[in-house]
Amino acid sequence: MSTYSWLARQMLAPSLDLARGTHAMRSLAELETSQWWPLERIKQLQSKRLSYLMEHSWASVPYYRHLMEEQRLTPGDIRTAEDLLKLPPLTKDLIRNNFEDLVSTHFPRQELRRTTTGGSTGTPLVFFGTRDDQLSHGFARGMRSLEYAGFALGERRVLIRIARQHNSAKERFLHNLSRPVERLIEIDSRHISTHSLPDIVRLLRQPNMRLLGGYPSVVSFIASWIRETGANRPALDAVVTGGEQLFEHQRAAIRQVFGSEPYSKYACNEFFDIAMECREHNGMHVHAEDLIVEVVDDDGNPVPPGHTGRILITNLHNFGMPFIRYETGDSGSFVAGDCPCGRALPRLATVVGRRFDFIYTPSGRRIAGSGLGTNRLALLPVRQFQFVQEDLDLLIVRVVPRVDANAEDLESMRVCIPPLLNEIVGDDMTVRVQYVDRIELTAGGKHLLVISKIDPNSWLKRASTGTDQ
């Protein structure tokens, strides 16, 4: 540990906690210990926290009071993660329609932090969090994630993401206060372009720069640019990606350029860090002390490890606006067995993109973006690509060619890409290549691999023998 890291951990961060009235360092120390607990002990802690959350929700959150009364339940009926099955999932529509009733009456409104989710799931969602949940527990989870990648508080890192909106000057001030403690440089992902890349790579090459974090599409874009231009490679200890699914072709590009296997994490604005890969890179350990993550089928019943289902999350610390069995819109599966790293925290396998990131074929198949053979496209002189399903039988592959691709390359890709895709989606879809200068990001600053303009519900009706892939 460097002197600065020691200082950050022992002096600066505790002072920051004191100034903000938070307890991030205490929470981090607890998480550093509990990550090695046996599963049974972690579940006991979950149950204790869940019981408290249910009591609190019964007493001060009208939505849950009504819901439990309707279901003839009392807080005592929901003590363990398994008991959660008695409650229906909380969808974004339910949140919008019951917004006021979901806010706890225990908190003066001005004490709550108004937060929004990005636009990657379509319409943004507004909700309230507490300082305790976000600045203490959320921060601690984020830090523990980075520790999995060998990083320590106070070491230098660059984070590329959509810039956070602050509700007040005070919030912005507190946020900026923590930057020097963390020695974190934030870059707004919307400003990433071929013009800004030389400066960013120079920044990454600064002495003692340890870690780069960001969306996989952005980080792999930087990796591809370094590879193409032959720029000097930054000597980073670790690369951490999150906010989107990390595809195999992106992993390969990052590994090749930065010389190490990237760490994938699962995080979102609603919960901050949810799960993070350990050095085994075989699934992401859920931060299960703070969050109960369920994987369920379409009827809301749990599915066994290895089987994909909808991801529901309960936050055990947001007492301002409790999210119990929140429908994330993501799907994923648990990894079976023990992890050789020694942590008993459950592991999520790759979280498959948002639920609408699917191609729907005329023959009734639903294919996730990860199933479209993206690693084969990555072998071509391509910098970025995106699949757009314009119609049930028309798939456009938008391609940003590499700068060194010549006219012959372009013509050859125009010919060779469609059959590669037809092998996967079937011959009853027309596949066309469209060359573009850049792939537009969503309003939330994310890169979507798949955009389907097909309404899944009408497709379901048309496809009589639908199977998932």
Burial 353-388 (b: 16+ CB within 10 A, else e): bbbbbbbbbeeebbbbbbbbbbeebbebbbbbbbbb
* CB burial of residue 210 (10 Å; 0-12, 13-18, 19+): buried
Contacts (CB under 5 A) with Zn ion, residues 347-406: none
Binder to Zn ion among 81, 197, 341, 410 (CB under 5 A)?
Answer: 341
Nearer to Zn ion, 34 or 452 (CB): 34
The answer to whether the CB of 143 falls within 8 A of the CB of 17 is: no
Applying CB under 5 A, the span of 93-101, 202-210, 334-342, 355-363 interacting with Zn ion comes to 334-342
Q: Which two tokens stand for residue 44?
A: 């006991």
Q: Does 335 bind Zn ion (CB under 5 A)?
A: no
The CB-of-35 to Zn ion minimum distance in angstroms stands at 9
Return all residues near 321 (Cβ < 8 A) that are at least 6 apart: 61, 102, 103, 104, 112, 127, 128, 129
Q: Which two tokens stand for residue 346?
A: 């459950």
Nearer to Zn ion, 143 or 204 (CB): 143
Applying CB under 5 A, the span of 211-219, 279-287, 316-324, 428-436 interacting with Zn ion comes to 279-287
For residue 135, what is the DSSP state? I
Applying CB under 5 A, the span of 46-54, 130-138, 332-340, 350-358 interacting with Zn ion comes to 332-340
Q: Which two tokens stand for residue 379?
A: 């072998």
Nearer to Zn ion, 345 or 454 (CB): 345
The CB-of-340 to Zn ion minimum distance in angstroms stands at 7
Instruction: Kindly determine how many residues on this chain lie close enough to bind Zn ion according to the rule CB under 5 A.
Output: 5
For residue 468, what is the DSSP state? E
Report the distance separating Cα 319 and Cα 104, nearest Å. Answer: 7
β-bridge mates for residue 188, sequence order = 161
Please state, as a whole number, how many other Cβ atoms lie within 10 Å of the Cβ of residue 215.
Answer: 24
Nearer to Zn ion, 339 or 420 (CB): 339
Strand bridging mode 291-296 / 309-315: antiparallel
Binder to Zn ion among 85, 201, 252, 339 (CB under 5 A)?
Answer: 339
Report the distance separating Cα 459 and Cα 138, nearest Å. Answer: 39
Q: Does 73 bind Zn ion (CB under 5 A)?
A: no
Binder to Zn ion among 149, 278, 291, 451 (CB under 5 A)?
Answer: 278
Nearer to Zn ion, 215 or 263 (CB): 263
**Per-residue DSSP letters for 145-181?**
HHHHTT--TTSEEEEEEPPPP-SSHHHHHHHHHHHHH
Nearer to Zn ion, 85 or 339 (CB): 339
Q: Compose the 130-159 pattern: x for residues touching Zn ion by CB under 5 A, - for all others.
A: ------------------------------
The CB-of-149 to Zn ion minimum distance in angstroms stands at 12
The CB-of-289 to Zn ion minimum distance in angstroms stands at 15
**Amino acid of residue 303:** V
Q: Say whether 40 sits in a helix, a strand or coil.
A: helix
Nearest of 252, 289, 165, 157 to residue 212 by alpha carbon:
157
Nearer to Zn ion, 278 or 405 (CB): 278
The CB-of-288 to Zn ion minimum distance in angstroms stands at 13
Nearer to Zn ion, 135 or 345 (CB): 345
The CB-of-250 to Zn ion minimum distance in angstroms stands at 21
Applying CB under 5 A, the span of 227-235, 258-266, 280-288, 433-441 interacting with Zn ion comes to 280-288
Report the distance separating Cα 376 and Cα 374, nearest Å. Answer: 5
Nearer to Zn ion, 275 or 417 (CB): 275
The CB-of-285 to Zn ion minimum distance in angstroms stands at 6
Nearer to Zn ion, 101 or 280 (CB): 280
Q: Does 184 bind Zn ion (CB under 5 A)?
A: no
Residues that bind Zn ion (CB under 5 A): 278, 280, 339, 341, 343
